[in-house]
Amino acid sequence: MLGFKRGGHDRAEFEALIAPWLDGLYASALRLTRNERNAEDLVQDTVMRAWRFFDRFERGTNFRAWLFKILTNTFINSYRRTSREKSLQDESERQSVEAQFFSPDTTDQATNPEEYLLERVLREDVLKAIDGLPIDFRMVVILADLQEFSYKEIAEVLDIPVGTVMSRLFRGRRALQKALLSAEQASPAAEPIDLNAFRERKKLG
């Protein structure tokens, strides 16, 4: 009626779009902030920013990616500054990411021969290992392995090249497995989990 071409500020439309993603935002915020209270604040800030900028969201494009871009930016801008997060950007990405990724000196692999994770690993162990990842790796791992975004989407969300996504994911997962393997060795007895049941659920879903 008023000739909005691109956006608009329709609250009902916004609420309908965002409602399905609140759980995902919260679960991701928990791993970003590692603290329930901050996670709730982060989600609320994210939703308010998304609402304020809703007229800039181009209808028909990837709303979930747009939302997670706001989530990660909000986190980087406000939470990371206050929490003592250390960025990898300075240390390991000073040189080209590609150069590292394809480096012949692949110390990670050399010193960590692949090993099966035992199926009795606990969820708490996984979360603890994720929380121990440096933030740049953690963000990529959250987006890829919790939210199951594609590389292209992650590149868009974090505003980094796809090659960087791949490299961080590779290194992040490696560090994660390393942490889990050493946790396994430290506490040998735990409840087994039924991986096959999960796979069946995934297939059905």
Partner 1 sequence: MNCRELQTALTPYLDGELIAEARLDVEAHLAACAACAKRVEVERHNLSLVRALWQGGSPRAPQALRSRVFDAVRADDARRRRQRWVKVSAAAAGLTLVVAVGNHQYRAFQRRLFEQDAALRHARQFPLEIRDPKTTDLEQWFGGKLDHPVTVPRFPNATAAGARLLQVRDKPAAYIRFDAPRPMGLFVYGDDHEVDVGTEPAVSNSNGYNVVSWRNGDLVYQLVTDLDEQDIRELLPPSHPVAHPADQGTPTLDVRPASLQR
Q: Is 4 in the site for partner 1 (CB under 8 A)?
A: no
Instruction: Mark residues 159-198: x for contact with partner 1 by CB under 8 A, - for none.
Output: -------x--xx--x--xx--x------------x-x--x
Residue (135 or 155) nearer to partner 1, CB: 155
Picking from 133, 147, 144, 146, the residue whose alpha carbon sits closest to that of residue 166 is 144
Residue (90 or 114) nearer to partner 1, CB: 114
Could you tell me how many residues of this chain bind partner 1 (CB under 8 A)?
Answer: 49
Q: Is 9 in the site for partner 1 (CB under 8 A)?
A: yes
Picking from 59, 45, 80, the residue whose alpha carbon sits closest to that of residue 16 is 59
For the CB of residue 11, give the shortest distance to partner 1 in the complex, in Å: 5
Transcribe the chain into DSSP letters. Answer: ----SS----HHHHHHHHGGGHHHHHHHHHHHHSSHHHHHHHHHHHHHHHHHTGGGS-TTS-HHHHHHHHHHHHIIIIIHHHTT---HHHHTTSS-HHHHHT-S--HHHHH----PPPTT--HHHHHHHHHTS-HHHHHHHIIIIIS---HHHHHHHHT--HHHHHHHHHHHHHHHHHHHHHHHHH--------HHHHHHHHHH-
Question: What residues from 80 to 139 belong to the interface with partner 1 (CB under 8 A)?
Answer: 101-102, 104, 106, 109, 114-117, 119, 121-123, 126-127, 130
Residue (19 or 189) nearer to partner 1, CB: 19
Residue (139 or 176) nearer to partner 1, CB: 176
Q: Is 11 in the site for partner 1 (CB under 8 A)?
A: yes
Q: Is 200 in the site for partner 1 (CB under 8 A)?
A: no
Picking from 178, 168, 69, 70, the residue whose alpha carbon sits closest to that of residue 132 is 178
Picking from 51, 59, 52, the residue whose alpha carbon sits closest to that of residue 6 is 59
Looking at 93, 131, 145, 184, which residue binds partner 1 (CB under 8 A)? 145
Q: Is 70 in the site for partner 1 (CB under 8 A)?
A: no
Binding site for partner 1 (CB under 8 A): 9, 11, 14-15, 22-23, 25-27, 30, 40, 43-44, 47-48, 51-52, 101-102, 104, 106, 109, 114-117, 119, 121-123, 126-127, 130, 144-146, 150-151, 166, 169-170, 173, 176-177, 180, 193, 195, 198-199
